[in-house]
Structure 1
């Protein structure tokens, strides 16, 4: 059974409760039979208690993992996910693994190769109905990133980004746009914080160059910066802001949901800067605002006065922004660092981002190829 499957959670929870009930019922008998053999009695009782604790912790761990979306599979948890290494083939284009019709369009499960970085990662691409019916147009695109370690499926199952975007399009709140859903942790289990690591994975370059090139080559997505926005939560929020601020030639707008403003260094990241203070500064958004010319991008940051640890740093970030950069904020009275908070912010945040993007005019070049998994044409079934 899958790590996040409901049957596994129910079975583990039932075992934990059953073991507790059995322990309470059998404890007097266990103590009575082994009373004359003290060391055996102690070991038996310790074993029973340890077994109960393991089952209880397992049940709680599965519930917490499913709620927060830390790990999406056993491979993610164990760091044995073979997806990246298996599909990294230099020069090979975007590959479609699966496709399904959804409300308001279609979702394609794809592999995004990195011809310049030699990285590769899975993604889910939402194509709105207008994309499927009007083959002459190019469309703006939104790159959506999870937190760490993250599972891009959470952007659909927990945040319903495709459904929210489809609703906003149907209500004529935003122009039709393509949505690209990914996780920023391209080289799991390592957390690279979207850093171009010296002598290591070039994560910023992968998202700013390779992913955008894959999308504009395989889909009718406009290449200009004014057609591209980026949104993310937690680590994905930090990455969204950083990518927009460091690559304004690639992204014109960004939304950070509960993001932070300086690179986190811990046991999951290792040494990301190779002792280079200049690179550390380059990834510090507050340092950039204080030292470098402001980039011509528009950003929205979210937090809450009670429940979010980034509230004060968010206020400091907003105060440091200067033209031509523009910053807006969405501050809730209260809300923790979780999906529930982001679901309260997205009804405003996602349309805001889509509204910052231009709607391309003119026809798409006839040479634009369809993804290798099948043509992205026809109305959804």
Structure 2
């Protein structure tokens, strides 16, 4: 049974209930003071607690899809950080990662069938959300995505026009599913487009790690996953090869929450020839090593330079400001990131511009990010160019 399957959750729930019942029934037998009685009570408590905790863990994971499979949970990805080195040697990556079959390939639901409130009906009236796999032309990374296509994408009067793109990144360890089910990104965008408050935009929803369960922080790790190259170069190339989207950086933005917001700022400030706008909800402003990331900066004399270049405050103080637009979402109380957000916004200088969404109170959760999302999408809509160009012009 799959890690997020209902039968597994129900079976574990039934086991937990049975353990509780057995503990209540057998408890009098272990009422004595001898070693056997003590071990019996300890064993009954341990097994019952384990069953209950496992049930709760499965329920939370099924709802939020932090891990979509047993392989992700256990980290059994056959040396995912070394995938680049393996590519092309005897076909060990499997057919799904073959670029000759397209850089955007159809995929199974990957949780999309569990997302509530997605557009329904004719695509030219309601739009459509697709589940796909994106294949990196350079990195050979294969990663899943949901792609929201607005109704105008299917309408005759827009048949030759390219659309702006927002690449949306979830937090860690959450996956693409959370962008649809809990952030409600495609549902919110569809409503804004329908009411005329947002221009028609293609939204590509992804998770920020390319080597789960490791948190790759959208970085090119020396000797490891090349996440930055994947999101800055491979993903745009793949989308342009498959969808009718813009070729100019003015039509490309990146949005994210939590660690996905951190990635959004990193990508736009480091790759202003790919993305020109970033909306970051509750981000961090520098990359640091922790138990989920491992060593992101490698060794040798370049380690300090790599660490500095991924510190956005250091970049603002020591490097030329890029000509990009950023939006930062934060809360005065309820989160710890307000002082850092204020310092970052104060440090921005031309030609870079910065705006903010500042709530009076908001915690580091989806309730806060859903409040910020409509304003962030409308800000992004004003920052991106549409229509950018006509199909066939370049």
**What TM-score, normalized by structure 2, do the two folds share?**
0.85
Query: Is 2:222 the counterpart of 1:195?
Result: no
Q: 2:308–2:314: 8 Å Cα contact kept in structure 1?
A: yes
Q: CA RMSD in A?
A: 2.5
| Distance in 2 of aligned mates of 1:332 and 1:24 | 49
| Offset from partner CA, 1:134-178 (integer Å, 9 cap, x none) | 321110000001111221122111122111111111111111011
What SS does structure 1 have at the residue aligned with 2:107? strand
Q: 2:268–2:276: 8 Å Cα contact kept in structure 1?
A: yes
- Unaligned regions of 5+ residues in structure 1, if any? 368-381
Q: 1:72–1:150: 8 Å Cα contact kept in structure 2?
A: no
Which of 330, 333, 348 is residue 306 of structure 1 equivalent to?
333
| Distance in 1 of aligned mates of 2:338 and 2:153 | 39
| Distance in 1 of aligned mates of 2:182 and 2:372 | 13
Q: 1:142–1:354: 8 Å Cα contact kept in structure 2?
A: no
Q: Identify the residue that residue 341 of structure 1 maps to in structure 2.
A: 368
Which of 21, 28, 39 is residue 35 of structure 2 equivalent to?
39
Shift of 1:92: 4.3
Within a 5 Å distance, the mapping from 1:214-363 to structure 2 comes to 214-275=238-299, 276-363=303-390
Within a 5 Å distance, the mapping from 1:1-381 to structure 2 comes to 1-5=1-5, 8-9=8-9, 12-13=12-13, 15-17=15-17, 19-28=19-28, 30-32=29-31, 35=32, 38-66=34-62, 69-80=65-76, 85-86=93-94, 87-93=96-102, 94-97=104-107, 102-103=119-120, 104-133=126-155, 134-275=158-299, 276-365=303-392
Shift of 1:266: 1.3
**What TM-score, normalized by structure 1, do the two folds share?**
0.87
What SS does structure 1 have at the residue aligned with 2:292? coil
Q: Identify the residue that residue 374 of structure 1 maps to in structure 2.
A: none
Shift of 1:194: 0.8
| Distance in 1 of aligned mates of 2:235 and 2:321 | 25
| Distance in 1 of aligned mates of 2:162 and 2:261 | 27
Q: 2:251–2:388: 8 Å Cα contact kept in structure 1?
A: no
| Distance in 1 of aligned mates of 2:108 and 2:393 | 25
| Distance in 2 of aligned mates of 1:68 and 1:309 | 23
Shift of 1:121: 1.0
Q: 2:64–2:178: 8 Å Cα contact kept in structure 1?
A: no
Q: 1:68–1:339: 8 Å Cα contact kept in structure 2?
A: no
- Unaligned regions of 5+ residues in structure 2, if any? 84-92, 121-125
After the TM superposition, which of the residue ranges 94-103 and 347-356 deviates more from structure 2?
Answer: 94-103
| Offset from partner CA, 1:309-367 (integer Å, 9 cap, x none) | 22221111111111111111112222222222211211211222122111024421299
Shift of 1:243: 0.1
Count of matched residue positions in the alignment of Structure 1 and Structure 2? 363
Q: 1:150–1:185: 8 Å Cα contact kept in structure 2?
A: no
Shift of 1:81: 5.7
More relative contact order, 1 or 2 (CA 8 Å, 6+ apart): 1
- Alignment CA distance shift 1:194-1:17 (3 Å): same
- Alignment CA distance shift 1:81-1:346 (3 Å): farther
